[in-house]
């Protein structure tokens, strides 16, 4: 209860920020930071089970395209398309997770990478009349929430902020539950957990599905906010950035991905002007932050060693 009261002023400050921040650019950065927090915390839940995913952007893309098609082609209200997009991403996660989560370490990471590229190829090369091909889909309508048109960046901020807070609270509740403790046990020693009668596949799939659901929700908001999506919006680098947010912030607690996303989102948005050199400049900045600002325990969390160990044993 004490922790909740300590966080209450911070939450109140987040809701009051638009009263003091009037710049469109800074509001945009706040909105994109909130999206990155959703992505990072949802990936963090997957990493807690000991599985390294580098294809998280694929589920964001699925959510973005699903929401867009539901709104533009099926005339579904945005408030309904948003959770449906997350559910569609979750269903895809079930289909991908059951056969692939038997793999461990870098082998599973390679599968998620391959899946992300397959998703991009499908959106890029197939169904051009449906997905828009390489040029994507433009003119996505502004959301309408219960008769209120979401048009200004301030209104988009007040839409994404509850989504971000709900994601954090939901994943935090899961982490503090018996399910969360089991996920940590599986991440640390899955063979030992299985020998004690834990159905490790069930828990790994659960974490993968829940993380993918929130990534799909983030994609649905992302599409409605930018009003244009294409396969290039969900490249491999997006998955890498999300993973970096978790690693730099630290994977020990849910505060890690939140701090990492908030800290590094400013770098990410500020380096857009470098074009093709953005990953290089971003990487240099990341190394500088890791070396001079973070303790070694956060820059290389214990999970990294467990992933390496599992891949070697496999």
Tens-digit pLDDT profile for residues 223-267: 999 999 999 999 998 998 899 899 888 888 999 999 989 988 877
Confidence at residue 266, expressed as pLDDT on a 0 to 100 scale: 75
- Angle of helix 302-313 versus helix 105-125 axis, rounded to 10: 90
Give the SS3 label for residue 98.
helix
Query: What's CA 243's distance to the chain center, in Å?
Result: 9
Is a pLDDT exceeding 50 seen at residue 313? Answer: no
Average pLDDT, the chain: 86
pLDDT at 281: 64
Higher-confidence residue of 212 and 288: namely 212
Please compute the mean of the pLDDT values over residues 138-159 and round it to a whole number: 91
Q: Report residue 273's pLDDT band, with 50, 70 and 90 as the boundaries.
A: low
56 or 6, which is more confident: 56
pLDDT at 91 over 60: yes
Average pLDDT over residues 126-155: 87
The answer to which of 42-46, 103-107, 309-313 has the lowest mean pLDDT is 309-313
DSSP string, 204-250: HHHHHHHHHHHHHHHHHHHHHHHSEE-GGGG-HHHHHHHHHHHHHH-
| pLDDT value, residue 146 | 77
87/91 Cα distance (integer angstroms) = 6
Q: What is the mean pLDDT of residues 200-211?
A: 96
Of residues 145 and 255, which shows the higher confidence score? 255
Q: Rounded to an integer, what distance in angstroms lies between the CA atom of residue 29 and that of residue 157?
A: 10
SS3 37: helix
Maximum separation of any 2 CA atoms in the chain, in Å: 57
**Is 215 in contact with 45 (CB distance < 8 Å)?**
no
- Between the alpha carbon of residue 309 and those of residues 106, 153, 240, 312, the distances in Å are 10, 46, 21, 5
Contacting residues for 277 by C-beta, under 8 A, at least 6 apart: none
Q: How confident is the model at residue 283 (pLDDT cuts 50, 70, 90)?
A: low
Q: Are 268 and 161 in contact (CB under 8 A)?
A: no
Length of the chain: 314
Give pLDDT, residue 247. Answer: 86
Look at residues 2, 10, 90 and name the one whose alpha carbon lies nearest to residue 45.
90
Phi-psi domain of 241 (left: phi exceeds 0; alpha: psi -120 through 50; beta: other): alpha
Q: What pLDDT sits at residue 148?
A: 83
What whole-number distance in Å separates Cα of residue 149 and Cα of residue 275? Answer: 33
Give the span between the Cα atoms of 188 and 168, in whole angstroms. Answer: 23
Continuous segment of H or E residues that includes residue 116? helix 105-125
């Amino acid at each position: 209860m004490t922790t909740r009261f300590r966080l209450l002023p911070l939450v109140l400050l987040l809701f009051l920020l638009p009263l003091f921040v009037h710049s469109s650019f800074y509001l945009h950065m706040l909105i994109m930071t909130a999206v990155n927090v959703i992505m990072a915390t949802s990936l963090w839940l997957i990493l807690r089970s000991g599985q390294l995913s580098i294809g998280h952007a694929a589920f964001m893309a699925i959510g973005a395209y699903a929401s867009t098609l539901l709104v533009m082609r099926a005339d579904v209200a945005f408030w309904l398309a948003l959770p449906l997009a997350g559910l569609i991403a979750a269903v895809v996660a079930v289909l991908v997770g059951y056969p692939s989560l038997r793999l461990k370490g870098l082998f599973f990471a390679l599968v998620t990478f391959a899946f992300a590229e397959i998703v991009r190829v499908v959106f890029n090369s197939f169904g051009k009349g449906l997905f828009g091909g390489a040029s994507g889909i433009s003119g996505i309508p502004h959301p309408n929430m219960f008769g209120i048109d979401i048009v200004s960046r301030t209104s988009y901020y007040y839409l994404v902020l509850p989504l971000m807070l709900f994601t954090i609270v939901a994943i935090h509740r899961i982490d503090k539950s018996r399910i969360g403790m089991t996920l940590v046990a599986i991440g640390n020693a899955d063979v030992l957990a299985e020998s004690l009668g834990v159905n490790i596949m069930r828990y790994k799939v659960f974490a993968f599905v829940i993380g993918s659901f929130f990534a799909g929700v983030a994609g649905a908001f992302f599409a409605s906010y930018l009003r244009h999506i294409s396969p290039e919006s969900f490249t491999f680098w997006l998955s890498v950035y999300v993973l970096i947010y978790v690693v730099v912030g630290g994977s020990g607690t849910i505060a890690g991905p939140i701090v990492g996303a908030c800290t590094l989102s400013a770098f990410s948005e500020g380096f857009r002007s470098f074009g093709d050199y953005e990953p290089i400049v971003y990487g240099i900045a990341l190394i500088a932050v890791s070396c001079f600002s973070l303790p070694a325990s956060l820059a290389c969390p214990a999970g990294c060693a467990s992933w390496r160990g599992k891949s070697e044993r496999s």
